[in-house]
Amino acid sequence: MAIRTNACPSSDERVKLFALLLETNARLSRSLGSELEEACDLPLAWFDVLLQLRTSPDGRLKMNQIADAIVHSTGGTTRLIDRLEGAGLVERQLCPNDRRAIHVAITERGNAKLDSAFDVHLEYLNKNLTARLSPSERVSLTKLLTKLNAPR
């Protein structure tokens, strides 16, 4: 058995910071997802897609745009959209200027479902972000996360 001579980098500040980001994201996603499912019967991934569609300029996006926005593989996004479409929350539409492309659009039922989830979402944000961070901390966190998310 080979013996490692290099020290484990787990005490490196960069490793700790990244682990903290992952842990925070997982914890917040898991707890918000539970609350949305319990109160609205809406999985977090569905909420995310509906929110992306609602906030898009014309209420629809191409599949690859959804995959990029929600950080899913294209295959995973296709299966996710299949389930949302089966529930009547989204619909596929042909792209008028590209016959190969398919748009996904939020339906009236999807808009109503998203509206019902916003109360739960906003209460969750109040309890887990607003109440725990000062206004200046929220501004700083927003700036830092925006900087990390910006293209290099």
For the stretch 113-144, pLDDT in tens is 999 999 999 999 999 999 999 999 999 999 99
Domain extents in the chain? 33-130
Question: Do residues 32 and 121 touch, judged by C-beta distance below 8 A?
Answer: yes
The tokens describing 79, both together, are 């299966």
Q: pLDDT category, 80, cuts 50, 70, 90?
A: very high
| Burial (CB count <10 Å: 0-12, 13-18, 19+), residue 89 | buried
CA atoms of 125 and 130, how far apart (whole Å): 6
CA 65 to chain centroid, in Å, comes to: 13
pLDDT averaged over every residue in the chain: 90
For the stretch 10-27, pLDDT in tens is 788 999 999 999 999 999
For the stretch 25-52, pLDDT in tens is 999 999 999 999 999 999 999 999 999 9
pLDDT of 103 > 60? The answer is yes
| Length of the chain in terms of residues written | 152
CA atoms of 122 and 47, how far apart (whole Å): 13
Beta-strand ranges (E) seen in the chain are: 60-62, 90-94, 102-106
Beta bridge partners of 91: 105
- How large a percentage of the chain has pLDDT more than 90? 71
Which of 84, 104, 108 lies closest to 94, judged by CA? 104
Task: Please report the pLDDT score of residue 9 as a whole number.
Answer: 74
CA atoms of 90 and 83, how far apart (whole Å): 9
- How large a percentage of the chain has pLDDT more than 70? 95
Task: Please report the pLDDT score of residue 59 as a whole number.
Answer: 85
* DSSP at 150: S
For domain 33-130, the CATH class is mainly alpha
Task: Please report the pLDDT score of residue 64 as a whole number.
Answer: 86
Task: Please report the pLDDT score of residue 100 as a whole number.
Answer: 81
Q: Tokens 């949302």 belong to which residue?
A: 84
